[in-house]
Amino acid sequence: MIDDKQQRIISALVENKPGVLFRVANLFRRKSFNIESMTIGHAETPGLSRMTITMSCNYNQADQVMKNLDNLIDVRRVEPLDSRNATVRELALVKLSPGSPPTRPEIMNFIDTFRGSVIDVSTETLTVEVSGDQDKINAFITLARNYGLKEVARTGAVALSREMIPAETTAVW
Amino acid sequence: MNRMSGSEALVEALRREHVEVTFGHPGGANMPIYDALTEFNTSPNTGKGIRHILARHEQSAAHMADGYARVSGKVGVCMATSGPGATNLLTGLATAYMDSSPVVAITGQVPTFAIGSDAFQEIDIVGMATSVTKYTFQPLRARDIPYAIKAAFYLAPTRRPQPVLIDIPKDVQQLEDDIEFPNTVHFPNYQPLPDPDPTIVKTIAQMVLGSQHPIILAGGGIKMSNAYRELQAFAELLVAPVTTSFMGKGAFPENHPLSLGCMGMHGAEQTNKLLPESDILLVIGSRLSDRTTGKIEKFCPNTKIIHIDADKAEIGKNYKFPVVSLVADAKAALTALSREVEAGMMGQHREAWVKKAHEVIEATVEMDTASSTLSGVETVKLLRKILPSHAIVTTEVGQHQMWCEQHYQVIEPRTFLSSGGLGTMGFGFPAALGAKMAKPDVPVVDIAGDGSFQMTENSLATSVEEGIPVTVVVINNRMLGMVAQWQRFFYNRRYSAVNLGSSPDFVKLAEAYGAEGVRVQSSAELKAAVAKAIRSTITTVIDVPISPEENVLPMLPPGAGIKEMIVG
Put simply, the answer to whether A60 touches B135 (Cβ < 8 Å) is no
Per the CB < 8 A criterion, the answer to whether B434 and B23 are in contact is yes
- Judge whether residue B167 has pLDDT over 70: yes
- Beta-bridge partner residues of A81: A9
The reply to whether residue A23 touches residue B313, judged by beta carbons under 8 angstroms, is: no
Which residues in chain A have Cβ-Cβ distances shorter than 8 Å to B190? Answer: 73
Q: With 70 as the cut, is the pLDDT of residue B369 above it?
A: no
Nearest to B320 among A1, A22, A70 (CB): A1
Q: Transcribe B204-251 into DSSP letters.
A: HHHHHHH-SSEEEEE-HHHHHTT-HHHHHHHHHHHT--EEE-TTTTTS
List the single residue in B with minimal CA-CA distance to A64. B313
Q: Quick check: B169 pLDDT over 60?
A: yes
Q: Identity (one letter) of the amino acid at B86?
A: A
Number of C-beta neighbours around residue B336 at 10 A: 23
Q: Do A64 and B155 touch (CB under 8 A)?
A: no
Which of B130, B189, B190, B315 should one mutate to test binding to chain A, selecting the residue with the greatest count of A CBs within 10 A? B189
Distance CA B267, CA B402 (A): 9
* pLDDT band, very low/low/confident/very high, at A137 (cuts 50, 70, 90): very high
Closest to B97 in 3D by CA, of B64, B130, B123: B130
> How far apart (Å, rounded) are the C-alpha atoms in residues B419 and B157?
18
Q: CB A74 to CB B189 under 8 A?
A: yes
Give the distance from residue B189's alpha carbon to the nearest chain A alpha carbon, in angstroms: 5
Q: Which residues contact B441 (CB under 8 A, 6 or more apart)?
A: none
Q: Do B189 and A22 touch (CB under 8 A)?
A: no
- By C-alpha distance, the chain A residue nearest B126 is A19
Hey, what amino acid is at B27? G
Longest dimension (CA), chain A: 57
pLDDT at residue A65 greater than cutoff 70: yes
Per-residue HEC secondary structure of B105-145 comes to EEEEECCHHHCCCCCCCCCCHHHHHHHHCCEEECCCCHHHH
Smallest CA–CA distance from B297 into chain A, residue: A1
Look over chain B and give the mean of its residue pLDDT values, rounded to a whole number: 95
Query: Is A73–B131 a contact, with Cβ atoms under 8 angstroms apart?
Result: no
Which stretches within B504-551 are classed as H helix?
A: 506-512, 523-533
Q: b/e string for B367-385 if b means 16 or more Cβ within 10 A?
A: eeeeeeebbbbbbbbbbbe
On whether any CB of chain B is under 8 Å from the CB of A73, the answer is: yes
Whether the ω angle into residue B504 lies within 30 degrees of 0, i.e. cis, is: yes
Asked if pLDDT for residue B118 goes beyond 60, the answer is yes
Residue A100: per-residue pLDDT: 66
What is the distance between the alpha carbons of residues A96 and A106, in angstroms, rounded to a whole number? Answer: 13
pLDDT at B19: 96
- Residue A17 near chain B (CB below 8 Å): no
Residues forming beta bridges with residue B519, ordered by sequence position? B543
> From CA B152, how far away is CA B373, in angstroms rounded?
50
What whole-number distance in Å separates Cα of residue B219 and Cα of residue B496? Answer: 34
Does the pLDDT at position B324 exceed 90?
yes
Nearest residue, CB atoms, B313 vs list A19, A22, A71 = A71
Q: Is the pLDDT of residue B370 over 60?
A: no
Query: Are the CB atoms for A8 and A173 separated by under 8 Å?
Result: yes
pLDDT at residue A169 greater than cutoff 60? no
Of the candidates B189, B313, B317, the beta carbon closest to that of A73 is on B189
Task: Report d(CA B50, CA B437) in Å as an integer.
Answer: 12
> Between chains, do A1 and B136 touch, taking CB under 8 Å as contact?
no
For the cut 80, the answer to whether the pLDDT of residue B472 exceeds it is yes
- List chain B residues with CB under 8 Å of A75: 189
pLDDT at B371 over 80: no
Rounding to the nearest 10 degrees, give the CA dihedral for residues B14, B19, B22, B27.
10
pTM given for the model:
0.95
Is B130's CB within 8 Å of A75's CB? no
Report the DSSP beta bridge partners of residue B135: B164
Contact A23/B at CB under 8 A: yes
| Residue B45: per-residue pLDDT | 65
The reported pLDDT for the residue numbered A42 is: 96
Q: Is the distance from CB of B61 to CB of B24 less than 8 angstroms?
A: yes
**Using CA atoms, how far apart are residues B181 and B54, in angstroms rounded to an integer?**
28
Closest by Cα among B538, B527, B494, B196 to B336: B196
The yes-or-no verdict on residue B127 having pLDDT over 80 is: yes
Q: Report pLDDT digits (tens) over B337-352.
A: 999 988 777 655 788 8
Residue B126: its chain A contacts at CB < 8 A? 19
pLDDT in tens, B392-409: 999 999 999 999 999 999
pLDDT tens figures, B514-531: 999 999 999 999 999 999
Report the distance separating Cα B410 and Cα B387, nearest Å.
Answer: 11
Whether the complex's predicted ipTM is more than 0.95 is answered with no
Looking at the annotation, which residues of B are catalytic?
A: 58, 120-121, 170, 482
- Residue B64 has what DSSP assignment? H
Contact at CB, B320 and A60, closer than 8 angstroms: yes
Q: Which one of B134, B136, B316 has the shortest CB-CB distance to A64?
A: B316
- Residue from A17, A65, A67 to probe the interface with B (highest B Cβ count within 10 Å): A67
Cα distance between residue B240 and residue B238, in whole Å:
5
Average pLDDT over residues A97-112: 81
Does residue B319 sit in helix, strand or coil? coil
Query: Do residue A77 and residue B312 have CB atoms under 8 angstroms apart?
Result: no
Residue A127 CA to residue A149 CA, distance in Å, equals 10
More confident residue, A151 or A170: A151
Query: What is the spatial distance between Cα B165 and Cα B129, in angstroms, rounded to a whole number?
Result: 7
Sort out which chain A residues have CB atoms less than 8 A from B134's CB and list them.
73
Confidence (pLDDT) at A2:
65
In terms of Cβ atoms closer than 10 Å to its own Cβ (0-12, 13-18, 19+), residue B67 is: buried
Question: Which runs of E-coded beta strand occur in chain A?
Answer: 6-15, 37-42, 48-57, 75-81, 86-96, 117-121, 126-132, 149-154, 158-161
Name the nearest CA neighbour of B123 among B7, B28, B56. Answer: B28
pLDDT digits (tens, 9 = 90+) for B244-253: 999 999 999 9
Q: Whose CA is closest to B101, among B139, B132, B58?
A: B132
Dihedral of the CA atoms B348, B353, B355, B357 (nearest 10)? Answer: -130
Instruction: State residue B343 phi and psi, 5-degree precision.
Output: -65, -35
Residues of B whose CB is below 8 A from A19: 126, 136
List residues of B whose CB lies inside 8 A of any A CB: 126-127, 130-131, 134-136, 155, 187-190, 311-313, 315-317, 320
Q: Between chains, do A63 and B316 touch, taking CB under 8 Å as contact?
A: yes
Which residues of B fall within a CB distance of 8 Å from A73?
134-135, 155, 187, 189-190
What local confidence, expressed as pLDDT, does residue A83 receive?
Answer: 80
